[in-house]
Structure 1
Amino acid sequence: MCIAAPAQIVSITDKVATVDFGGVRQQAKLDLVGDLEIGRYVLVHSGYAIEVLTDTEAKESLEAWDELLKVLDEEDKEAELKSSV
């Protein structure tokens, strides 16, 4: 399965951005997208920004990721309880 995650651009050097995934930062190449500015959100897949998000798309995407992470956290807690019994 391939997943593209939303990230905010915090700096740009040449065609490489430092992006922030909710506190985790990494590099993303900008070869596949147009001109960008700091503060914009992009979808990142395999080290490349593949799509520029509007503010609304970024908000919706981040909310969906938050919900997914909550569900996964709950499943982990349930699994821990079952294994300790």
Structure 2
Amino acid sequence: MCLAVPGKVIEINDTKASIEVGNVKREVYVQLVPEVKLGDYVLVHAGCAIEIVDEEEALKTLEILKEFAEDEIC
């Protein structure tokens, strides 16, 4: 199964951006979303931002993923 995860854009450098997912920071490619801006939430799959998403939806998705992770640990 493939999964795209939302992350908040915290820095943009040409064709790459730094995103934050929880406390984790990652560098991703942003060529597929050239209109991305600082503070946007993007869906990330295989190291690439593939879509800009609504902040509210991104936060809901992150909360669900957090719940899944907590259930898996117990």
**Is 2:14 the partner of 1:14?**
yes
For 2:59 and 2:21, the matched residues in 1 are separated by 13
- Displacement after TM superposition at 1:16 (Å): 0.7
Identity over aligned pairs, percent: 35
For 2:34 and 2:57, the matched residues in 1 are separated by 17
TM-score w.r.t. structure 1 length?
0.79
For 1:51 and 1:68, the matched residues in 2 are separated by 23
What are structure 1's unaligned runs of at least 5 residues? 75-85
For 1:56 and 1:20, the matched residues in 2 are separated by 15
Shift >6 Å, 4+ stretches: none
Point out which structure has higher relative CO (alpha carbons under 8 A, 6+ apart): 2
Q: Which has the higher helix share?
A: 1
Point out the structure with max Rg over C-alpha.
1
Q: Which residue of 1 aligns with 2:52?
A: 52
Give the number of aligned pairs.
Answer: 74
TM-score w.r.t. structure 2 length?
0.89
For 2:56 and 2:19, the matched residues in 1 are separated by 18
CA RMSD for the aligned pairs? 1.1
- Displacement after TM superposition at 1:34 (Å): 3.6
For 2:4 and 2:32, the matched residues in 1 are separated by 14
